[in-house]
Structure 1
Amino acid sequence: MSASAEARLNALDRVLDSQTPSEGLAQELFDVVDTLDAQPSLRRALTDPGTPEKDRSALVDALFAGRVSGSAVEVLSEAAKLRWPTVGGLAVAVERQAVRAAFSAAQVEGKLDEAEDQLFRLGRLVDANNALREALGDRGIPLDRRQGLIFDVVADKVLPVVALLARRAVAARKRTFDLTVEEYLTIASQLRKRAVATVEVAQPLTKEQEQRLAAALSKQVGRDVSVHVVLNPTVLGGVRVSLGDEVIEGTVAGRLEDAQRKLS
């Protein structure tokens, strides 16, 4: 990420972090994103570098004040003041703040860990169900029907904020449902400056084992690490850890493959 892109995101982060987070604020920001996506002329007007900042901000007030909360207007107003390299960048940035608002609300309630875990497991469930995955990604099916499919899956089984994010992820701004969920989880980790590690094991880990593994990984990367455990019968022993682009192979299968490569 370039320094200018990071500066823009940090500026929006500060505005959102000064608001009181809530699921309602997240929904309002998602609704704003839908409006931006549906109206190219509005996106152009709010990102036109030839229009003074104050005029772009005034346009936000004229269009959204009274229709969404003051908190949502503040976030959008700050976003409109910034310079975006593409007209679509504004909507992407506001959606990121919507996700941050949802996770921040969970964090205030002491349920961020639970929300992350539920969303992670939902992503794995969808990835393992070919029929559901294909249906969610079928752009020939109206979006509201596809969102209804994921709602039927989660129903009352997850936190309301997770249900909100799951429905939103069906729109798949990152191309697919699972990639969008992955992006959401990255945002959650950034919220508390943690890395995300996916740990594949053949047998469930105890809470103590998870904590020891998280501590070891945190020491290795120099910052806190959130561990998401996935049961994988093909892992013959040990663990396989995916941390960003790095894969740490500690399985029997992995060691056998390594030995075979060395002998060939």
Structure 2
Amino acid sequence: MTTQEEARQSELDGVLDGQQVVPQLAAELFAVVDVLDQQPALRRVLTDPGIEPAERGQLIDALFGQRVSAAAQQVLRQAVGLRWGGGARLADALERQAVRAAFATAQASGTLESVEDELFRFGRLVDGDAALRSAISDRSAPLSARTQLITDLLDGRADAVTVELAKRAVAARSRSFDLTLESYLSIAAAQRGRALAQVVVARPLTDEQHDRLATVLAGQLGRPVNLQVVVDPQVIGGARVTVGDELIEGSVSGRLESARRQFH
């Protein structure tokens, strides 16, 4: 993502953060994303730099003004007023805000941490079950059938926000299920002002090891860290830590050395 794109995302984040977030806001924004995905011509019009932002905003009012809340309308109007360089990027930006709205709902109810944990654990479950992974990823099967599978697996066993986001991740608009879920978790971590680090270790961490590694990484990154711990007996040398696209091996930094020794 370029600096300009990050600036636009940040601006749109601020608009959503200024709204009173209620459960239906995420659903409304996801519904608009679905409409944009289904109508390429509409995407082109809403991102056409030859059309004034005010005109694009009027079109949003005409299309969605009576169908979505005032909060959703504010986000939509701001979104179409920005330059995204293409309709697909507009849809991506709105999907991000829908995910953020869902997490904001969980945060308001005090369940954000458990939702993050449930999404991560479900992702690991899918990754470890070849048949389930294939069923979820099979684009020749109707999307409704694949999302129903998620409902059957999680409904009543996980938070409602977890269920809805897992179902959205099945659509995997431009990526795979696992990468979509990972992007959602990154959004959740950012929403709490944290970095997201995946830690692959040979054996489960004790609470002390978990806290020590989180402290070391927080010092390295300059902000608190959410750890996603994956146990892989084939890992050699302690821990393999990934933050975004950056791989941090346990032996690279002296500040990680004391934590690394805990894993032997």
Query: Per-residue deviation at 1:236?
Result: 6.4
CA RMSD of aligned residues (A): 1.7
- Using the TM superposition, give the Cα deviation of residue 62 of structure 1 relative to its aligned residue in structure 2, in angstroms: 1.1
The count of corresponding residues between Structure 1 and Structure 2 is: 251
For structure 2, list consecutive stretches of 5 or more residues without a partner in the other structure: 252-264
- 1:244–1:90: structure 2 CA closer, same or farther, 3 Å change rule? closer
Residues 1-264 of structure 1 mapped to structure 2, 5 A cutoff: 1-235=1-235, 238-250=238-250
CA distance in 2, matches of 1:78, 1:106: 24
TM-score w.r.t. length of structure 1: 0.89
Name the counterpart of 1:261. Answer: none
> Structure 1 residues 2 and 238 mapped into 2: Cα distance closer, same or farther (>3 Å)?
closer
Q: Deviation string for 1:4-33 (max 9, x for gaps)?
A: 211211111111000122331111100110
Residues 241 and 4 from structure 1, CA distance in 2 versus in 1: closer, same or farther, beyond 3 angstroms?
A: closer
**Is the Cα contact below 8 Å between 2:44 and 2:86 reproduced in 1?**
no
- Following superposition, the deviation at residue 107 of structure 1 comes to 1.5
Q: Deviation digits for residues 182-206 of structure 1, max 9, x if unmatched? A: 1111111221232111122344333
What is the identity percentage for the equivalent residue pairs of Structure 1 and Structure 2?
55
Query: Against the structure 1 CA distance between its residues 243 and 233, is the aligned structure 2 distance closer, same or farther, given a 3 Å change threshold?
Result: same
SS at match of 1:170: helix
Distance 1:79 1:246, change over 3 A: closer
Cα distance in 1 between the residues matched to 2:172 and 2:89: 16
Distance 2:236 2:82 in 1: 51
Deviations 1:114-143 (A, max 9, x none): 111111111111111111111111111011
Deviation at 1:250, TM superposition (A): 4.3
* 1:152, distance to aligned residue in structure 2 (A): 1.5
Compute the displacement of 1:173 (Å).
2.1
Distance 1:198 1:94 in 2: 26
- TM, length-normalised to structure 2: 0.89
Residues in 2 aligned to 1:108 and 1:211: alpha-carbon distance in whole angstroms: 26
> What is the SS of the residue equivalent to 1:230?
strand
Query: For the residues of structure 2 that align with 1:174 and 1:128, how far apart are their CA atoms?
Result: 22
* SS of the residue 2:229 aligns to: strand
**Equivalent position amino acid for 2:169 in 1:** A
The amino acid that maps onto 1:83 is: R
Q: Which runs of 5+ in 1 are unaligned?
A: 252-264
Distance 1:88 1:174 in 2: 10
* Residues in 2 aligned to 1:247 and 1:175: alpha-carbon distance in whole angstroms: 21
